[in-house]
Structure formats: C-alpha cells, structure tokens
Amino acid sequence: MFFNKSKRAVITAVLLSLSISNGFYISAAGNQAEDEDPIDLSHMDIHIANKAKSAKFVYIDGKPESETVRNNETDSVRRVVTQYYYDQFRNSQDPDMPYFMFMSKSASMMLGIGGGVRMRAFYDWNGAVPTNAFAPSTIPIPADPASRQRFNATPSGTYLNFQMIGSHTLIGNYGLYIEADFTGYEGRDFRLKKSYAVIRDFTFGYATSTFSDQAALPAVVDAAGPNNKFSATNVLVRYMPRFKKKWYLAVSVETPATAIDVRGKDVRVASNWLPDGAAFVQYEWKRGQHVRLSGIVRSLSYYSNIRDKRENLTGWAVQLSSVAHPERHLTTYATLNYGQGYAGLGGDMMYGSYDLVVDPSDTSRLYAPKMFGWCAGLQYNFRPDLFATVAASQTHYMPKAGTDVNDYRYGTFICGNIFWSILPRLTVAAEYDWGMRRNISGIHKASSRLNLTAMFTF
C-alpha cells in the first residue's frame, strides 16, 4: 500500500513538473525520451543527460523507506531535470537546472535553488564597439581613432534562479520560477530577469515572449548573440496546449515595450493602451527538434503636436524558425523574420528607437518601418562535452526614401566558437566575432572581437 501511494505521488510529480513553462511545461517528450534508443541520441542529447545526472536530490522530511520507491522517484525526477533543457523558450546562455533539488517525502513537491558564476573577457580591434555586447548597429561610423582597441572583463550574466513545483486540490499542478542576474547598471547591479507562475497550460507573469524561439538560436559566447535574436521578456498571460503528440499551439497577450523615435519637435510619445498579441504553431518531430511559425501584432501610438491628436498605428511580424539534429554530431539552427514596427523586441535594432520613426516627407507624422532578418547556425559535437559552432546573421532596416543617409541600413554578425564542458557544470569557451554596420549612404565599418568565458553553475 505504501508503495502504491508513493508511486502515485511520483507520477503526479512527474506530470506536474512537465507542466512548467521555460523548463517545466506539458510535453510528452519526456515519455518519448524513455522510448528512444540510446544509439539514436545525438551528442547534444548525451551532454544534456550528463548534466541531469549531476543534479543532487535532497529529501526535506525523510526518505521513503523502500529503496525501490526511492530509486523510482530519483529516476522520475531526473527525467524532469532532463526535460528542462528541451524547453522551447530556453537558449544556451540561460541557467542550468539547479544543482540542489529539495523534495518532499512523497515527491509531490520539489524546490530547486541554483545559480551560476559567469566571467567574460573580450578584446576588440579594428575599431572598438562601445558596448559590452557586440552589436553591429553600435559600431561607430566614422571610426573613433581614440578607440581602435578595447579590453574589458565583466561578471555580467552571473545569476541566481529558484524553481518550485507543487500540486493543490483547487488549482491542480502549478510551478513558480524566479531568475535574477547581475546585468544591471555597469553590468553588475542585481536585476529581475524572469518571474512567473504556471498553472496547467497557462503561464502568468514576467516571461519570454511567445514570439521568441530561443531554442532555435545557436550557442554564442557574446552576450548579445546573433543580431537577429528576438528574446523580449514581457509580463504576459499565455495559453500553450499540446495536441496530437507532436503539435504545440500558443497564444498570449503581453505588456508592450515600445521604442519610438521622437527626436523631432512635432511629435511626442503617447502611452501604451493595448497589449501585444502573440501566437505560434509548432511541429516537434522529435524531442529538441522542431519547426515553428510565430507571429505578433502590436499597437504603436504617438501624439502629433501639430494636429493635437493621438495617432495609433499597427506593428506586426512573422517568424519561421527551426532546430534539428540531421546527424548525431550535428545541430542546425535557423530563423527568418519580417514585419514592421517590431524592432523593440530585440536584435540589432533594439539599440535605437525604430518601432516608429519620423516620416521624412512629413515630420508631424511617424510610421512603422519594415525590417527583415535571418540567422543560420551549425554546431558540431566532437564529443558530448566538446562542440564548435559557426553562425551568421543579418538585420535589414528598410525605411522610406528620404531617410537620413547616415542612418543604419543593415548589420552583419558572424562568429565561430568552441565550448568545452570540463565538468557537467563547468564550461569554458572561446569565440571570434566579426561584425559590420552599413549605413544608407553605403558607408560601412567592420570590427572584430575575441571573447573568452568561463561558467560554473550550481
């Protein structure tokens, strides 16, 4: 009787654990993993399994008496830890699953407390980028002769994260997640990065935008990542069910964060009055491999001083993205997006105010400029704990004719790196970054950076 009761608790814990978004979400992929032949696993899958095995489980109110029950609980929770790394909203730079997992005796509640110490050092030459993140849009044109080279080191990206999973008779399975890191003022101040709750298929709180496909972005050492990286974090309400085993559908309403150009005297910023609406449909043919079509619609407002009225425009974007393992050593990444008025969601353009810009033919009006971007990456695992990545991305800005010729036209980012996990939770990496900014006039400037990083998580 005791065994049956504990077994039910284990099953409950596993199911509720898989329901938490951004590491805990409903997915039969966890069950699918049990059916996979180890021979079919990619090197990346094996590396993830090794990370999951490094987690330590601590009972907070006494262990179950039966060794069989304890082993079953450990195996079940370890599958939950493994599933964390296959989350659609997780990128390689995001936190590892906490090293210490505290469980109740019945395994119906689990708390993870973790963190990571990250150190980055970089050296720029051929023209220094003025930001710690290597963003092509920030490359100065013309070059500043006083800043041809630059060296810096920063602990930015060091983090703490907390995860709790539980079940209640009234609301059913739920999860709580808090993540904060040291990337605030001067890259050292502590700031909240994510904070949300998940109840069944619903997510409430400050979480990654539904428009973002973090899993489809290649592993990059630099904090900015590909210049086509859209990874906005918003306060949102998301509904994300899974159906027919391999399909996901998500819809959300999200608090907008707009970047509007009001350099002219004829216009000023107006308050946001409608949430963004985002959605995606995704087909996942195997755990950690999918293709997704995402979309977002935004309300963008400004106030015209000349007409003394509020103007409301619409921004929108679509994105096609994918991640796959065509061969056990290889992982491919790809994203392609297009739209207008979505620059504030991330990428190269977020360093300016490009959601709405001044119409060159009428300075009393703003418009939502069009944009186009792409990213492609290829990762090769020499061993499960040693891999190299090459990636390239571009972001194109397509404003109306008559725009200032010194404005940004497009940026290119190319990188090559190598990651080595000396231990499952100790990783070192080196990367070469090359970026170029081209203005509307055709004038362009390139810059190079060497990135080194070490990351230890617990």
DSSP string, 327-375: ETTEEEEEEEEEEES-GGGBSGGGGS--SBEEETTEEEEEE--EEEEEE
CA distance linking residue 54 with residue 370, whole number of Å = 46
3-state class of 78 per DSSP? helix
pLDDT of residue 11: 37
**Model confidence at 24: pLDDT above 70:** no
Dist CA 251 CA 254 (whole Å): 10
pLDDT value, residue 445:
94
Average pLDDT, the chain: 84
The answer to whether residue 23 scores a pLDDT higher than 60 is no
**Average pLDDT of the segment spanning 51-58:** 79
What would the pLDDT profile of 441-451 be if each residue is shown by its tens digit?
999 999 999 99
Mean pLDDT for the stretch of residues 269-275: 87
* Average confidence (pLDDT) over 137-158: 88
- Residue 107's pLDDT band, with cuts at 50, 70 and 90, is low
Whether pLDDT at 346 is above 90: no
- pLDDT at residue 94 tops 90: no
Structure tokens at 204: 């409430």
Q: Which of 23-37, 62-76, 79-93, 111-125 bottoms out in mean pLDDT, i.e. has the lowest?
A: 23-37
pLDDT at residue number 320: 97
Mean pLDDT of 39-61: 78
pLDDT at position 121 is 94
Q: What is the pLDDT of residue 424?
A: 87
Residues of the chain above pLDDT 70, percent:
86
Q: What's residue 388's pLDDT? A: 97
Q: How far apart are CA 373 and CA 180, in angstroms?
A: 29
Element (H, E) at 315: strand 309-327
Find all residues with CB under 8 Å of 1, minimum gap 6, and list them: none
pLDDT per position as a tens digit, 363-384 = 888 999 999 999 999 999 999 9
pLDDT, greater one: 172 or 15 = 172
